Amino acid sequence: MTKIIASAVLVSALAAAPAAFAFQPTAIPETGTFTKAPVGSTVTIETTGKFGNRYQNYFRVAENGELEFVVQDAVN
């Protein structure tokens, strides 16, 4: 009986593990608003993380002119 409980705990822990190690963007800059950029256009901002890694951050211009974060790619 304890083997069944132990294996159930192990399976549930392994099922929850991918969420704990999911990719989380780093080095996302604070952005302002755009007044002359068309709504829906894409803006790319390159940043450097705290360990020196470079990232390309892609944003979309919202209707209110603010930038909405879309995705981040590592620059090699």
Q: pLDDT per residue over 39-60, tens digit each?
A: 999 998 898 888 888 999 999 9
pLDDT for position 24: 62
In the block, which residue shows the tokens 């940043």? Answer: 47
Q: What is the distance between the alpha carbons of residues 74 and 69, in angstroms, rounded to a whole number?
A: 15
Judged by DSSP in three states, 44 sits in: strand
pTM score above 0.75? no
The residue extents of the domains of the chain are 25-76
Percent of the chain with pLDDT over 70: 66
Answer whether 60's CB lies under 8 Å from 40's CB: yes
Residue 8 has pLDDT above 80, yes or no: no
